Amino acid sequence: MPNPIEFYFDFSSPYAYLGSEMIDELAAKYGRKVQWRPIMLGATFQKTGLPLLVTIPLKGEYSKHDIIRSARYYGITFKFPAKFPLSTQTAARAYYWLHGQDCAKARAFSHSVFRAYWVDGRDIADLAVVQKIAAGLGIDKNALAEAVAKPEIKERLKTETDGAIAKGMFGAPYFIVDGEPFWGADRLPQIEHWLKTGGF
Amino acid sequence: MPNPIEFYFDFSSPYAYLGSEMIDELAAKYGRKVQWRPIMLGATFQKTGLPLLVTIPLKGEYSKHDIIRSARYYGITFKFPAKFPLSTQTAARAYYWLHGQDCAKARAFSHSVFRAYWVDGRDIADLAVVQKIAAGLGIDKNALAEAVAKPEIKERLKTETDGAIAKGMFGAPYFIVDGEPFWGADRLPQIEHWLKTGGF
């Protein structure tokens, strides 16, 4: 079995959303699985000392334009949400709870959360919104609310975040292929070249 | 005549070097010219408040790895120089002096400066090194030394730098195609799509 591709992201990252719409298909083309790992991007800001991208003079304005143009370039539906940034810990905790039971359902839930925010502009920081998204996939919304409040789920998200940083993560999306890190949706062509050639 | 592509860069930017090895061929494929414009990247740091990329925790280490891998991916000869960063104002001033006389020679000089630094690790901050590079292209080294000391050439570099920042430049390479800004050598595929489709 070839190594799975590790995919670290925060639901609040627009470039991670773009990556999330493309990575599974790319991986499947080369017989690879993808391990999805939502983490708390705020923790990386503490390590790098960098401000939130969109708040940086000049670069912030450019990035908002680049994100929208990149979505068009990739053919991915995208709309910048009115509420940005927002907290994604409830959604990320719900992911790990679901992942413990049903990987495929956790993956479907992730796609739904990303699209609810980056297409429909819904407030995914709100537990009620996350519950509604989950209910649409046949997930018990009361069980979800209980799960995301549990100390072991909170701890899991912290552990995953620390683990990503230990592997060098500083921004999203962050992919690791055969131990090789790739940052950004714009590195998918290099990832494809890596998968095709077995490293370059 | 279609608009030329504006290419803003600093000779000390590794990603700008990668872009410099590809942009002319890409532009020519779609009947476009390229206006090369060396500027002082340090002035953009003052605007954005960002530190030098390679000094940022986690992101800096990644970037050094990414630059080398990206060069391999593009098939461009590259070697990280021992002296980094360094001042490029002498080389940039020499460019504008040459450009006033012979555009093609100024272009050839730019390629030679980039390669002297990013392939051969020469100290392009040193006037004597810049003179030697110029002499290799049949340029009078004494005339160059006189020119780069002139107030009007110094002023020209400042004006070009301010002009690039006024157009939103915050990092290198920075390309403008039909008024549309593209940052990074990794945006060349989007630039190509833009040239092919007339905007998207």
Kindly give, in sequence order, each residue whose CB lies less than 8 Å from that of residue B20, ignoring residues fewer than 6 positions away: B7, B9, B36, B110, B111, B114, B173
pLDDT in tens, chain B (200 residues): 899 999 999 999 999 999 999 999 999 999 999 999 999 999 999 999 999 999 999 999 999 999 999 999 999 999 999 999 999 999 999 999 999 999 999 999 999 999 999 999 999 999 999 999 999 999 999 999 999 999 999 999 999 999 999 999 999 999 999 999 999 999 999 999 999 999 99
Rounded to whole angstroms, the Cα distance separating B59 from A46 reads 12
* Beta strand A34-38 pairing with A5-9: parallel
Q: Is the pLDDT assigned to residue A82 strictly greater than 90?
A: yes
B75 Cβ under 8 Å from any chain A Cβ: no
Q: Considering only CB atoms, which chain A residues are within 8 Å of B186? A: 184, 186-187
Continuous segment of H or E residues that includes residue B29? helix B23-29
Domain boundaries, chain A: 5-197
Minimum CA–CA partner of B192 in chain A: A73
Structure-token pair, residue B131? 């003179």
What are the Cα distances from residue B29, in Å, to B22, B53, B191? 11, 32, 12
Q: What is the pLDDT of residues A29-60, one digit of tens each?
A: 999 999 999 999 999 999 999 999 999 999 99
Q: Is the pLDDT assigned to residue A1 strictly greater than 90?
A: no
Tell me the shortest Cα–Cα distance from A112 to chain B, in angstroms. Answer: 27
Quick one: DSSP state of residue A5?
Answer: E
With 0.95 as the threshold, say if the pTM is over it.
Answer: yes
Could you tell me the fold of the domain covering A5-197? Glutaredoxin (3.40.30)
A80 Cβ under 8 Å from any chain B Cβ: no
- Residue B173, preceding bond cis, omega within 30 degrees? yes
Please provide the size of chain A in residues. Answer: 200
Ramachandran bin of A164, using left for φ above 0, alpha for ψ from -120 to 50, beta for the remaining angles: alpha
Q: How far apart are the first and last CA of chain B?
A: 20
Identity of the residue in A48, A168, A180 whose CB atom sits nearest the CB atom of B56:
A48
B58, A168: Cβ pair inside 8 Å? yes
A184, B189: Cβ pair inside 8 Å? no
Q: What is the ipTM of this complex?
A: 0.95
Identity of the residue in A51, A66, A193 whose CB atom sits nearest the CB atom of B73:
A193
Which residue type sits at A71?
A: A
User: Of A15, A64, A165, A48, which Cα lies nearest the Cα of B51?
Assistant: A48
